[in-house]
Structure formats: structure tokens, C-alpha cells
Amino acid sequence: MVEIRLLEIAQFLGCTVEGNKEALIRGVAPLDQAQVDDLSFYTNSKYATRAKLSKAAALVVGLHDRERFAGRSLLISDNPYRDFARVVAKWFNCAFLPKAGVHPTAIIGENVQIAEGCSVGAYCVIERGAEIRAHTTLFPFCYIGSKVTLGEHCLLYPQVTLLDRVIIGNRVILHSGVVIGGDGFGFAPDPNRGHIDKVPQVGWVEIADDVEIQCNTTIDRGALGATKIGRGTKIDNLVQVGHNVEIGEHSIIVSQAGISGSTKIGNWVTLAGQVGLVGHIQVGNGAIVTAQSGVAKDVPPKSVVTGSPAQPMIENRRALAGMSRLSELRKKVRDLEYRLRELEQGKIDSG
């Protein structure tokens, strides 16, 4: 069992300690589940009551919240959520990783390079010419296509599929069901022949360092050239990335987003859940697209857009406010129409 003093955690994080510096931390937990030897964190005023009632030995909080929890043991942080995650990663991350080596049921093609410290699980298939660099782990049933390059310290959970010529950087995490390098949706209709011709998808996919892609997300190869995912970007479950899309660094793509072909997304962009983007547009650096928005044109840098079709947040709110008054406006129009008819028929005095 892990047992660590609060002061030691503070020194690791570079945080200030208030309260009992010698408190022993043996676990981490949410506010409402924490026990007397657990560390928890607080960032949202919505959970203030939970935090005050929490049994946690100590809380990681922001400087502006220290007075709210006076009398408790605290770690004062400029980013409580991040620092709590750092504590979990260092002392309480118990994820199972298999030992290095190639399982006897794995199928390894010709001219495959597997570096030292790699783990290749049961029933994995690695096709000819692929390169797996040092200390990368493939859980069972992964498929690595021909001439794939997979960087150092990567982690592929069961049933990840990397098709031919995919290039993966270092420290990339791919969760179960991810498919990278499938054909893009490229077809050329020919009504005169009564046929739809497939456009060959002969490009590839490049994924930079420190990317994480979660379960059942698909990223298509370029029709020509590359589909690119930038360094540090995080992609949620059930996201579709079309051919020749380019996503910049440190962007967040949330579940069920769909990005059509050749769209370019900048750095530090957030696409919330169920966002849909048409093809061949650009989303500028630092932009935020709120949930269920439909984006049909370029999004300027650092803007916040919402709705379908997506528009700047303030314009959307004005439009919604106007819609909320439509019933009242319709009633006024009906009253004015009635009065106008009465005037025209001379039934009421115009004065």
C-alpha cells in the first residue's frame, strides 16, 4: 500500500501546504467517496457542499478557495485538477502492463523490426516491413499493417488496428477499437453510367508525439498525402476524422464529433460533443465549438461558436432571446391586424 506524507506531495507539486503537513495519504478519491486517508480536489463551486462534508484527509484547491476551507489540510495549487492528476500518475496509477517479449501466438511478417523492451501480446499480427520502437506495448489482438512505424513508449490496448504506412510518434496511447488508416470516404458519382466510382485512397496518417485516442475512434488515411494529428492532441471515443484532415497541437476533440475531409483545425482548439464540421474549412487557434454545433464555414481564432449553423456565441444568444419572445410578438401582430381591419371598415374611430 502507498503511504506518503502530504508535505512530500506538496514538494513534488511545488504547492503550498496548509494544515497538517504530516498527514498520511494512502489513496485518492472523489469528494463524496473519499475516506480519512484519501486526497481529493476541488475546482467547481457546484460541489462546494460536497467538499465541506468530505472526509478526505486533504484537498487540492486553488488560492482563491483557501478561505472557504479554512481549518482543513490543503494543497494550494494554481491548477488543482492538473496537480491532482500528477499525484495519481506518480503514486496511484495501478494500470497493468505486460512484461516485455513477443507472445508465441503473435504473427510476425518479414523484415519487421521490434526494438528492445517491447511487449507484443497474444494473437497480434505485425505485417512485413513494420517497425516497433523501444518500450512499446501491444495488448492482444492488435493489427499492425505493412510499413507502419510505431514510436517509443506507445501503448496500444486490445484490438487496435493500424493499417498500411501509418506513422505514429512517441508516447502515443490508442484505446481499444481505434482504427487508423482506413480508406477515406471518396467516391465519384457518374449518373450517365449509373455508377459511383471509388476514388483510390493512396495517402497515409501521421500522428505526432503524446497523442491519446480513445475507444472506437476512426481516422482515415489521406486520399493523396497525409491526414495529420498534432502533438499532444486528445481525441475522445467515437470520433470520426476524415481524409486529409489536419488537427494541430494540444487540441481536444470530444465524443461523437465528425470532421469532414480536408478540414484544418489549429492548436488548442476544443470541439465539444457531437460537433459536425463540413469539409475544406479552417478552425483557428484557440477556438471553441460548443456541443452539437454544425460548422459550415471558417471559425476565427480564439472565437466561441455555437448552434447549427454555428455562429458567434453572443449572436446565438441574441437569436435565442428573440425566439423566446416570438409568441408574444405573434399575439401583438394579430391584435394590430384586427385593429387595422376595424379601421379599414370604419368600425372604430381612428383618433
Res 72 pLDDT > 60: yes
The pLDDT tens digits for 96-139 are 889 999 999 999 999 999 999 999 999 999 999 999 999 999 99
**Residue 350: its pLDDT value, please?**
52
Cβ(251)–Cβ(213) below 8 Å: no
**Least confident window among 14-18, 146-150, 320-324:** 320-324
HSE-up (13 A, CA, CB side) for residue 39:
32
Confidence class for position 345, pLDDT limits 50, 70, 90: confident
Superfamily of domain 4-92: MurE/MurF, N-terminal domain (3.40.1390.10)
- How far is the C-alpha of 136 from the C-alpha of 196, rounded, in Å? 42
> 196: which 3 cell numbers?
459511383
Catalytic residue among 175, 243, 250, 280: 243
Res 348 pLDDT > 70: no
Q: Is 195 annotated in the active site?
A: no
The answer to whether the 4-92 and 101-313 domains have the same CATH topology is: no
**Residue 318: its pLDDT value, please?**
73
**Residue 322: its pLDDT value, please?**
67
- How far is the C-alpha of 146 from the C-alpha of 242, rounded, in Å? 21
Decide: pTM greater than 0.75: yes
| Torsion sign (Cα): 236, 283, 297, 178 | negative
List the domain boundaries for the chain: 4-92, 101-313
* Residues in contact with 136: Cβ distance below 8 Å, sequence separation at least 6, in sequence order: 115, 118, 119, 150, 151, 152, 153, 154, 155, 156
Strand partners, 334: none
Res 18 pLDDT > 70: yes
Q: In the predicted model, what is the mean pLDDT of residues 206-210?
A: 98
Task: State which CATH number among 2.40.110.10, 3.20.20.70, 3.40.50.150, 2.160.10.10 fits the domain covering 101-313.
Answer: 2.160.10.10
* Residues in contact with 215: Cβ distance below 8 Å, sequence separation at least 6, in sequence order: 175, 176, 177, 178, 237, 238
